[in-house]
């Protein structure tokens, strides 16, 4: 056996025999009843919580705001507000249909939502595939179907088709 192979076997044997690292966490009462988190067990009478015996429930923390998010107060109304208008074929989502002709490539998803509101139909947009949003004719943009293709949150294609009744 050559020296390189022998060294590789020795390193593998040592790594296999080495104990896995484990970090226990203990919550102890510190000075002035201020909790302290440490890796060693707490002194007698100071233990507040042993996380190995009593693990915490899942906590969800708010994420940092996304730079492409719609500013507060500018978000379009939710589709959950559908009422009789939806049954009559009218759009119930905030947005100005007359703005559809001003959508351009390079706009972000948030900008489109702020101008036009939620689309009437969506296709795709999962697993990295482009999303296609379709806006049906509405007051302000009658007889036009506007389709917007978004790739990675950016408008890459706009298709406007005239529809005659």
99: CATH? 3.30.1450.10
- Domain count of the chain? 2
75-79, 80-84, 136-140, 141-145: least confident range: 80-84
**Residue 50 pLDDT level (bands cut at 50, 70, 90):** confident
Domain containing residue 146 = 79-162
Q: Are both 84 and 157 inside the same structural domain?
A: yes
Q: Is residue 73 part of a domain?
A: no
Strands (E), 15-116: 26-29, 35-38, 47-50
Range picked from 13-22, 65-74, 143-152 for highest mean pLDDT: 143-152
Q: Is residue 2 part of a domain?
A: no
Q: Is residue 133 part of a domain?
A: yes
Q: Are both 87 and 158 inside the same structural domain?
A: yes
Q: Are both 90 and 33 inside the same structural domain?
A: no
Threshold 0.75, pTM exceeds = no
Q: Cα-Cα-Cα-Cα dihedral of 79, 59, 57, 28, to 10°?
A: -160
Which run of H or E residues covers position 5? Answer: helix 3-17
| Residue, of 45 and 67, whose pLDDT is higher | 45
| Residue, of 135 and 25, whose pLDDT is higher | 135
Q: Are both 150 and 83 inside the same structural domain?
A: yes
pLDDT at 108: 93
Q: Is residue 5 part of a domain?
A: no
Q: Is residue 60 part of a domain?
A: no
Q: Is residue 12 part of a domain?
A: no
Q: Is residue 63 part of a domain?
A: no
């Amino acid at each position: 056996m050559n020296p390189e192979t022998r060294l590789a076997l020795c390193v593998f044997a040592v790594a296999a025999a080495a104990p896995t690292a484990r970090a226990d966490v203990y919550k102890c009462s510190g000075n002035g009843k201020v909790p302290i988190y440490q890796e060693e067990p707490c002194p007698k009478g100071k233990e507040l919580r042993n996380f190995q015996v009593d693990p915490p429930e899942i906590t969800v923390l708010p994420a940092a705001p996304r730079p492409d998010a719609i500013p507060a107060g500018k978000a379009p109304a939710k589709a959950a507000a559908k009422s009789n208008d939806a049954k009559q074929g009218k759009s119930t989502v905030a947005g100005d249909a007359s703005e559809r002709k001003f959508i351009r490539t390079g706009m972000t998803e948030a900008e489109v939502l702020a101008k036009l509101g939620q689309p009437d139909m969506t296709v795709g947009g999962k697993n990295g595939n482009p999303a296609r949003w379709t806006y049906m004719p509405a007051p302000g943009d009658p007889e036009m179907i506007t389709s917007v293709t978004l790739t990675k949150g950016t408008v890459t294609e706009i298709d406007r088709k005239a529809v005659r009744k």
